[in-house]
Structure 1
Amino acid sequence: MTAAPEMRHYTAAQAREIRATVEDIYRRSYTEAIASGDPFDSPEAFMHRFDAYTAPDRLPGFDLVVAYLDGAPAGQSWGWPLRPGAEGWDGVHLDDGDTTQFTAEDGHRTFALSEIMVCSEHTGRGIARALHDELLRGRPEQRATLLVEPDNERAYARYRKWGWYRVGWLRPGWDDAPVFDALILDLPL
């Protein structure tokens, strides 16, 4: 990466104010997925999920990080702490262990990293890693979780390199959602 991106954090309310930027980054990052015609990957479906994640009082602790290069958005990442009874674990199938104990959330145990994306014209510059690290830097939770499609070899390889490991799989409750592998990263205390 030649120049370090400027990282800006946004709360859920602030993220809703830059909704057009969020959609623009998605469209410039997921060009192939959008072109595939898969309903789950349509910009409309993506923004529907974004609106749900940022709805008032829906996800306390939501954090959006946008990377800017020369003042223009180049990528984004977001997530939130899982609350007690978190829907995010609904339907999880663990490779090993007790599901009840694994999914017991208190609002401070697990941070759900929902998205990392970099606009296609900026890939290969280390921006994804910078977004990942910025979003997780200083998190008070014990661990983070994310979902990745098992056949997304490029992303999967990066996540493993960054210390993530598979714990099982799940299919989120969103319309047309694929099956994802569930990964965990132990966060430093």
Structure 2
Amino acid sequence: MTPRPELTFRRFDAAQARAIGDLVESLYLDAYATAIASGDEFDSVEQFMRRFEAYTSSGRGFDLVVAYTPGGEAVGQSWGWPLAPDTAWWGGLEAEPEPGFTAETGARTFALSEIMVRRAWTGQGIAHRLHDQLLAARPEARATLLVEADNDRAYRAYRSWGWRQVGRLRPRWEHAPTFHVLILPLPIPS
């Protein structure tokens, strides 16, 4: 069994995240090299950074966690934000799992948008640690995320971390695929 690498985790709000946009992009380039190389427009660096700019431009509680080695190398990142009452997140949902499911208050649901780890660092539990670091301080009652239907590895990981599928959704982003919608109840922070 491979020992867990020693890491430190640093949080960034929206303004701080925008200031390290080059780092965010370099982590994406490494972690998603295969997806980028596929030529799928949704996975292009330009589309990814356009979404990142949109996510961080509103401020609205954007929360980014970056994992660093003791030598200061950034090896992974995870981010999200609380869904506002006027959120477009649920647009494209095929069916509401239950009445009121998509009603947001700004404090009900945290949207976990990204978890990524540099290829050389995968398989060491870093994605799970980023997930836990990001969600540990969240005051929302639940979290949601979207996972591509054919991403079996990610889907298995999320299921093992307690997530459950509640539907399917195709976001309004240009060239977006259809995703599975997953939900995770969050503990009340102490």
TM-score range, shorter chain: over 0.9
Query: For 2:15, what is the secondary structure of its paired residue?
Result: helix
Answer yes or no: is 1:112 the counterpart of 2:111: yes
Aligned to 1:166: 165
Q: Counterpart of 1:46 in structure 2: which amino acid? A: F
Which consecutive unaligned segments of at least 5 residues does structure 2 have? Answer: none
Query: For 1:45, what is the secondary structure of its paired residue?
Result: helix
Distance 2:16 2:137 in 1: 21
TM-score by length of 1: 0.95
- CA drift of 1:96 comes to 3.4
Query: For this pair of structures, how many residues does the alignment match?
Result: 185
- CA drift of 1:9 comes to 0.3
Contact residue 27 and residue 77 of structure 2 kept, 8 A:
yes
Aligned to 1:76: 77
Runs ≥4 residues deviating over 6 A: none
Aligned to 1:67: 67
Distance 1:95 1:109 in 2: 16
Contact residue 85 and residue 104 of structure 1 kept, 8 A:
no
Deviations 1:95-122 (Å, cap 9, x if unpaired)? 7322xx0010001100000000000010
Aligned to 1:127: 126
Which consecutive unaligned segments of at least 5 residues does structure 1 have? Answer: none
Q: 2:32 aligns with which of 30, 33, 37?
A: 30
RMSD: 1.0
Deviations 1:30-67 (Å, cap 9, x if unpaired)? 01100100000011110010011111xx1410000011
CA separation of 1:131/1:160 partners in 2, compared to 1, >3 Å: closer, same or farther? same
- CA drift of 1:167 comes to 0.6
- CA drift of 1:138 comes to 2.5
Query: For 2:155, what is the secondary structure of its paired residue?
Result: helix
- CA drift of 1:139 comes to 1.2
Answer yes or no: is 1:49 the counterpart of 2:48: no
